[in-house]
């Protein structure tokens, strides 16, 4: 359908929790296609609906050539083991900061037919799943930084 413009930090839509998708209709089908088209570009790992201005619980992912989507995702499982690594975001362009996440994550939701789906993984996939669900809850990865790093990150954001 279309590659959509990414909303950036400062846009209130990024801080607004998304509504569950109650009915799968042409609008939702179009949203999913836009999410898939927009995430299917070099350097993009995931994209939540609110990042393109739509306040519905849906995201797409593009990890290791695996491209997909989940409607009404819920984090169903997180490992106790964590990973530390730099994390970035299309909505916070050009900035990467060390962000602690679970090493493994499992998300459950539905597809466009209303059938249950499950996406799971470790490493980058786990990071992506957690990052995108955070977006749908109205949070940015910067919220997860320790106090000193968050202060540094917000100063860098102001310079953008």
* Catalytic residue numbers, as ranges: 132
HSE-CB at 12 with a 13 A cutoff on CA atoms is 0
| 73 contacts 136 by C-beta, under 8 angstroms | yes
| 95 contacts 88 by C-beta, under 8 angstroms | yes
Residue carrying the six token digits 């949070």:
139
Question: For residues 32 and 5, what is the distance between their CA atoms, to the nearest angstrom?
Answer: 15
For residue 140, give the nearest of 12, 5, 4, 39 by alpha carbon.
12
């Amino acid at each position: 359908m279309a590659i959509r413009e990414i909303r950036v930090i400062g846009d209130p839509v990024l801080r607004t929790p998304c509504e569950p998708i109650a009915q799968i209709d042409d609008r939702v089908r179009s949203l999913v296609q836009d999410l898939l088209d927009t995430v299917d570009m070099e350097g993009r790992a995931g994209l939540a609906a609110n990042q393109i201005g739509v306040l519905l619980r849906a995201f797409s992912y593009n990890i290791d050539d695996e491209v997909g989507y989940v409607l009404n995702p819920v984090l169903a499982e997180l490992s106790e083991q964590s990973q530390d690594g730099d994390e970035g975001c299309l909505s916070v362009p050009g900035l990467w900061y060390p962000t602690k996440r679970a090493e493994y994550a499992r998300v459950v939701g539905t597809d466009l037919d209303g059938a249950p789906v499950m996406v799971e993984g470790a490493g980058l996939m786990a990071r992506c799943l957690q990052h995108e669900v955070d977006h749908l809850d109205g949070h940015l990865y910067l919220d997860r930084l320790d106090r000193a790093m968050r202060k540094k990150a917000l100063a860098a954001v102001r310079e953008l």
